[in-house]
Structure 1
Amino acid sequence: MSSAPALSASQSLPPLNQTATGMPPVALTSQPNLQTAAALSTEKTTAAASSLTSLLDTVFAGSQGEGSSPGPSANSYPLSSLADLNLTTCSILAASLSASSRAAYRQSWNLFQTMDKGASSLPLSLQSVCNFIGYLFDKQYSASSIASHVSALSYLHKLLNLPDPTQTFIVRKLLKGCSRLLPSQDTRLPITKEILHKLINANKMTVSQPLNQLLLKALYLLCFNAFLRLGEVVVKSVADRDRVLQVQDVTFHGDGNLPHSVQIVIRHHKTQKKNDPLIVSIQGGSGEFCPVQAMHEYCKKSSHSSGPFFQFVDGTPVTYSFVSSQLSKAISFAGFDPKRFKGHSFRIGAATHAAQLGYSESCIQHLGRWNSNALHRYIRIKSFEI
């Protein structure tokens, strides 16, 4: 198992609407006109709200005008510092967040507005941020999820160079209190090599169509051996069709009927920082559970020549929900608790297996494309010391 470092895509932001921040020319008079001044102040505030809303829609949704929730306005919003951003600068700003991060930050703002329907301006009040933490706590969000949502609110303030209420002492203490009252524990178990083989055999009894048995066998072995996330190979929605592993991104090497390796190209993945794809090469082995042979056999028996690599007979992409459902059936049939094994268990199992084989921490981190010590949570054997 080997892979190149994870690299990622940059997406461009359209330039900000500079005209939205301009003030119309005003005829000078010898006497102050309070009505005119008030009207200009209102127009300026409206322009600020409009410009900021456009910016937030762009940052969070990837294009202007998307998103069902209105963005906040900000009377103290530094218009001049953002109005003159050129296209290159906006593109760099867009590249700082992945598509998944933009969606998550948008969801955080939507959640905040669900709690405080009157929220329409920045900076947020300290009281509203504290109550937001309490709101999420009551909704039984995990401590890590609460911290992530608060971090999203912080991002808004930092982006606009506004005072950040999330960095105050009381907010830090509230987050610490959440961690103590809601200790996070990942209860997912690893799909080890032995369990993987049992699940593949169980599919013969739980899946009626032979081609789907072969499909799931190839998919399970690929996810395990390449440390893949399930969402990198199967779709969660129709919109993901072009974002999962494609037919043209799978290349076999060696004898036409008996390849010795396979190379896959993952063009969209969680840890992308630039536009370069992730290339993973998997070496074949012998026996019934060789990932290269399973993928090659599935490729020969499936009729599709383009689109997602994993498709049903009718050409529709294999869905995340289908795989999760079939995985639960196989796990139950094999005598395990389906609540403890999920799609991510392949990735946890791969890290655990690599540790058992004596791979170093840095090597496992490279194979799994972890950018931090998050891999420590994935290795589930007491004998492996990090």
Structure 2
Amino acid sequence: MSTPRPATPPTELPAEVAVPDPMAIADQDKLSSDERRYIGAARAANTVRGYRSDWTEFTTWCAQQGLDPLPAAPRTVSGYLTLLAGHGAKVGTMSRRLSAIKFVHKLQNHPDPTANALVVGVWEGIRRHHTTDPDQARPLMPPQLWDVLATFPTQRTWKTPSRPPESDLAGARNRAMLLVGFVAALRRSEIVGIDVEHIADHDRGIVVQLSRSKTNQRGDTTELVVLPRATNTARCPVTALQTWLQLAAITDGPVFRAVSKGNRALNRRLAPAAVNDIVQTAVAAAGIDQPEQYSAHSLRAGFVTYAHTRGATDHAIAHQTRHRSLTSVGTYIRTDTAWDDNAATQLGL
């Protein structure tokens, strides 16, 4: 088989090329409805969406090259990796594509081409040659966080004279969401995954039980985060959360929900991507430079960075972030803190 020619994958798959559903396990027609349901729950929804997107990219490229994507030959996968690396793809992107290829082949009961010695060798070489710092969202923390919170409106007015002003539900939700996300150091999927049943009152504030997380996708362990009461009620995550739940009349089910144009909380959980949009829009409204560098993860990164500058130990930070490795905590400490207590600034040169 000839080496695939280097070409940028097209953005759309030709109509005549069939793309297997990553969740379409072999012999699925022989499965019971319960078996299909459990298979569908085997991977997080975000993971499955990512697999589908990555698999489509791979099969699109294979169609352009005249190669079989399923089962894929090891030379096909190694050629695909070489192409991506040559076009400047990030190591994380290529790793995700490999995971999708492996996942689909295993579900279809085909040998895993990513385990082949050729693919392993090419992949290791790419990782050594193209090592770069991972993209990280800029931390969102005080005082910029307070500027962002100030952009959320507190009141809605209406063109209809007979309708009096009301508390702005979207504004209340967004304040609560950002404060909870920051103080609890949550990922975006964890923020939108909170239900009322996961919240417990405590003398010092609130305890939130996370049923699922990136490192606990099966819910095998209980993960707890705390929201202490703040002396300044305008910046208190407990006050903001309770205010939102009261205004939206939410007593059970999802905590963070969509809000209608008519200023009513809907019975629909916010999507994780919506948290990104809310953060970036608010950062831009606050006049902060380069808002595109901020995301929902900026709240978690901001907690780690800000807690570090306030003197918290890595162990104390990891207690809230639930990091299993203190090395992971260290990756969040940004360049601005590298100057703190550093002997290089005392050389007198």
Taking structure 2 as the reference length, what is the TM-score of the superposition?
A: 0.68
Asked if the contact 1:95–1:273 (Cα under 8 Å) also holds between the matched residues in 2, the reply is no
Asked if the contact 1:125–1:165 (Cα under 8 Å) also holds between the matched residues in 2, the reply is no
Asked if the contact 2:227–2:238 (Cα under 8 Å) also holds between the matched residues in 1, the reply is yes
* Per-residue CA distance 1:88-139 (angstroms, 9 max, x = gap): xxx9x999865655554555444332222452654x4232012221343467
Q: Partner of 1:223 in structure 2?
A: 181
| Greater relative CO (CA pairs within 8 A, separation 6+) | 1
Aligned counterpart in structure 1 of residue 264 of structure 2, from 311, 314, 319 = 314
- AA of the residue aligned to 1:224: F
Q: Partner of 1:134 in structure 2?
A: 82
2:232 maps to 1:283: no
Q: Partner of 1:28 in structure 2?
A: none
Q: Call closer, same or farther: CA 1:324–1:275 in 2, change over 3 Å.
A: closer
Residue 155 of structure 1 and its aligned partner are, at CA, apart by 6.1
Q: Which runs of 5+ in 1 are unaligned?
A: 1-52, 66-86, 235-243, 255-259
Residue 189 of structure 1 and its aligned partner are, at CA, apart by 1.0
Residue 332 of structure 1 and its aligned partner are, at CA, apart by 2.3
Residue 180 of structure 1 and its aligned partner are, at CA, apart by 4.1
Asked if the contact 1:227–1:350 (Cα under 8 Å) also holds between the matched residues in 2, the reply is yes
Q: Partner of 1:377 in structure 2?
A: 331
Let me know the Cα RMSD of the aligned residues: 4.0
Asked if the contact 2:84–2:94 (Cα under 8 Å) also holds between the matched residues in 1, the reply is yes
Which is further off, 206-215 or 375-384? 206-215
Residue 367 of structure 1 and its aligned partner are, at CA, apart by 2.0
Taking structure 1 as the reference length, what is the TM-score of the superposition?
A: 0.62
In the TM superposition, what are the counterparts of 1:60-99 in structure 2 within 5 Å? 64=28
Q: Partner of 1:365 in structure 2?
A: 318
Residue 158 of structure 1 and its aligned partner are, at CA, apart by 8.1
2:7 maps to 1:57: no
Structure with the greater alpha carbon radius of gyration: 1
Q: Partner of 1:353 in structure 2?
A: 306
Q: Any idea what SS the aligned residue of 1:282 has? A: strand
Q: Call closer, same or farther: CA 1:365–1:149 in 2, change over 3 Å.
A: farther
Alignment identity in percent?
21
Asked if the contact 1:246–1:309 (Cα under 8 Å) also holds between the matched residues in 2, the reply is yes
Whole-angstrom CA distance in 1 between matches of 2:154 and 2:243? 20
* Per-residue CA distance 1:285-321 (angstroms, 9 max, x = gap): 2112111111122222222323211232433234445
Whole-angstrom CA distance in 1 between matches of 2:22 and 2:129? 36
Residue 348 of structure 1 and its aligned partner are, at CA, apart by 0.4
Q: Any idea what SS the aligned residue of 1:347 has? A: helix
Q: Partner of 2:346 in structure 1?
A: none
Q: Which runs of 5+ in 2 are unaligned?
A: 1-19, 158-166, 343-349
